Amino acid sequence: MPKNIGFISTRFAGTDGVSLESAKWAEVMWDDRHVSFWYSGRSDRDPGISFVVPEAYFGHPEVEWINQRIWGQTKRDPLVTARIREMVDYLKTTLYTFVKKFNIDFIIPQNVLTIPMHLPLGIAVTEFLAETGMPGIAHHHDFYWERTRFSVNCVGDYLDSAFPPNLNNLRAVVINRPAEEQIALRKGLASLYIPNVFDFEKPAPQPDEYSADIREQIGLKEDDVFILQPTRIVPRKGIEHAIKMVGMLNDPKYKLIISHDAGDEGLDYLHMLEEMAKEEKVDMRIISDRIAEVRQHDSMGRKMYTLWDLYPHADLVTYPSLYEGFGNALLETVYFRKPMMVNRYSIYITDIEPHGFRFAEMDGIVTQKLVKHVERILADSHYCEEMVEHNYRVAKRFYSYSVLRRSLRTLMTSLTGLGN
């Protein structure tokens, strides 16, 4: 029985994991004729099916004012409590308006009941669910106890009650096995593990007339080897390992291309990487000024490309992350049938590696053995093709839309008592 689904988050825009995975969920649910609507503080979804409330964005000034006074503090001023309460009450009225406007039957909070970047919104969603009894699935991407920035706080009462809440009409979904264990241990909640997915039944897009000149536009010569680091420049991405590996390849034709900039976590890490690249004699290029969420031209008339425009042109992808909640870039690399160098971060070890993927693996350090493996991948086209085709078959089995479709049908049936 088709339903109107209300997705709720602080932001549905850009290429962050929440925005990407929620769009995939909506696409899969559309196969069963469920129609999706979007509540958020920022949105790039169709305005006709979106409900944008500026105060729901985690970067709103009032939210930032609250965050400055609740994290890293052990006592809470009564004024802060009052401001939290005011915002909760306001946001709750907007949730009721959203549900009424689009005749919502079922809601899917996306990470807002997981990580308290917007504490009042999480409380508002919890109270809305408790008051209405509306069925919902809470999609949890990364919990507050996984981030040190939230470890000292004066809002333990709110975290206990709403991040995540324990409600009979709400089912929990986590994206990795350790989270499944931790939510049970810390909250006494059962959850369903649903990994991030890709539409592996549909071939990846290939270069077209617009993107055919990417290598030339970013200054690569015909015989240069394009090594892509498809992430933001933040410490947990472990980009220093990619620099070390390229340095050990010891050939100027190997170019390390970083797709995104330093983001909002400061520039110290970027400066360290730049110094390291000089010492290792690595040609590292940051092309964030040529990458956008959609194809367009910048103020100088230059073409802007998407991340997906880059993948088909890469010879190798590096993913030396120290920590990931899952690792979307890993699946993207497999989807585009590209070889990858990957660090064995904890979620990779527990959830991904057992499926039998074939990558050039490092275990915290770059070794000569790893470098030799990368050299073989880049030199032996038959070996490389065999590797990427094997990875595609494995991903199609374990991370395709069909896996997500079965799980969502089970969850919705358990909540509504109705099949699709």
Query: What are the tens digits of pLDDT across the range 230-241?
Result: 999 999 999 999
Domain 214-398: state its class: alpha beta
Strand segments (E) across 11-58: 11-12, 35-40, 42-43, 50-52
In terms of DSSP H, where are the helices of 15-106?
A: 17-30, 61-70, 78-102
Query: What are the tens digits of pLDDT across the range 148-184?
Result: 889 999 999 999 999 999 999 999 999 999 999 999 9
Predicted pLDDT at 420 = 47
Residue type, 53: V
Q: Is the peptide bond before 164 cis (omega within 30 degrees of 0)?
A: yes
Check if the beta carbon of residue 387 is closer than 8 Å to that of residue 377: yes
Q: For the chain, which residues make up each domain, given as ranges?
A: 4-197+401-416, 214-398
pLDDT at 65 over 90: yes
Query: What are the tens digits of pLDDT across the range 193-239?
Result: 999 999 998 989 999 999 999 999 999 999 999 999 999 999 999 99
CATH architecture of 4-197+401-416: 3-Layer(aba) Sandwich (3.40)
Query: What are the tens digits of pLDDT across the range 289-342?
Result: 999 988 999 999 999 999 999 999 999 999 999 999 888 899 999 999 999 999
Distance in angstroms (rounded) separating the CA atoms of residues 327 and 341: 13
Site of tokens 């969603």: 125
Q: With a threshold of 0.85, does the pTM exceed it?
A: yes
In terms of DSSP H, where are the helices of 190-339?
A: 214-217, 239-249, 268-279, 307-310, 328-335
What letter does residue 207 receive in the DSSP assignment? P
Q: How large is the average pLDDT for residues 253-280?
A: 91
Question: CA–CA distance from 362 to each of 231, 237, 335, 336 (Å)?
Answer: 18, 14, 21, 22
Cα 355 to chain centroid, rounded: 21
